[in-house]
Structure 1
Amino acid sequence: MQQSATTFIAGLLLCLAATATAATGLPVTVINSDNNKPVAGAVVWAGNPQAVAPVSAEIYQKDRAFHPRILVVPVGSSVDFPNRDNTQHHVYSFSPAKTFNIKLYAGRPEAPIIFDKPGIVELGCNIHDQMQGFVVVTDTPAVGRTNDAGQVTLDLKPQPGERRAVLKIWHPRLPDTTRPVIREVDASQPVTIALDVEPEPATDGSLDLLQQRFREL
């Protein structure tokens, strides 16, 4: 009888441990504050920095567009910018998180760009105004992008007794695309965050303002 009781308690403890581990996943839903519709493609990450290994990635140019248009990488990552078009490109950014300038080129640049600071990096091409891209550089492994239902689950690892968490949320249709929206939330339950996002553009849009800023440098 004593052995059965011991076995039962051990099994119960294992179940509780598994439940606690599963509870570190924080469900987040992002909606449009104007109409409560889900916002797909929002990048959501934890605001408390944690060590994360850098990666190697690429954003290639094809059909006079960046692919992918939005890249999420850990801080310290290297990103290559191969040109797969039959025309030259001039890729640049003057964002505080990373300023660089790859002058007119075809093929593959001599070296990748190292994104050594967290933040939002806006990309442009000084030859083709319509080209726009973003690199979201994060300093935590707890990061994800919302699906078509506006939902993502973050793998948070809170300290014992800690319930509050700071989240950063970014979307390419925010009024200010240079910085994320910051929200403090209760990490012990699912979270819904309302964002002020602009309507989808009728076309791919233009980088007239970005171009003007580049030419004024």
Structure 2
Amino acid sequence: MYLLSLEELKKDYDTIFAVPLTNGLSTNASTMQSIARELEMNVHVIDMYATCALEKHVAIWIKRLVDEHKSSEEILKIIQPAIDESNSLILVKNLQHLKRGGRLTPMAAALAGLLKIYPVLHINKSTEGRIDVLNKVRTEKRADAYAIDKIMDDIDIQHTHIYIIHSNFLEGADHFKKCFIEKGVPEQNIHIDYISSVIAVHTGLGCIAIQYIREEN
């Protein structure tokens, strides 16, 4: 599939940006890089150390920079620091989905058997694009509060986009949005969307992921 797609793109473009699922969760990026080398194409494969909304955000951002006639080197210099500092916190109802799918590190998977432990998971550059445990708390309410406090400590509220994505849990997403607005985050910087189905099958229903990335004009 990638071979045919890149061959077609090669007819019209000399440089391509690709924003696939992170290397920590998929081999898509390495496959693209191998095919690009085979075709002798200039393909910048961006490792997001994440998935879902952050991939979409960066793809749109790159398109906007291309439209502004930025060079490839300028684009990479602009987006890479933001990608490196971006983060995704994950709050799941049931760890068994991630455990069965092999999407957790061994430490995180072991937590699935513990009673009265509610883990806050994260995926970012420090985890090399793999899902790992950030903190362990005793209740879901405490996990939610921890996630909000962690994000507020991390972000510049005026220049950070927060994506609250969910798997059939709009009520929970709305709750988080309200909390962030109360803490001073501009409403236009907060976005709610669904977790894509290809990811939701691993997280299960009722999952909330909060992804954030800085973009300063």
TM norm structure 1: 0.27
> Whose helix proportion is higher, 1 or 2?
2
Which fold has the larger relative contact order, with Cα–Cα distance below 8 Å and residues 6 or more apart in sequence? Answer: 1
> Whose strand proportion is higher, 1 or 2?
1
Greater Rg, structure 1 or structure 2?
A: 1
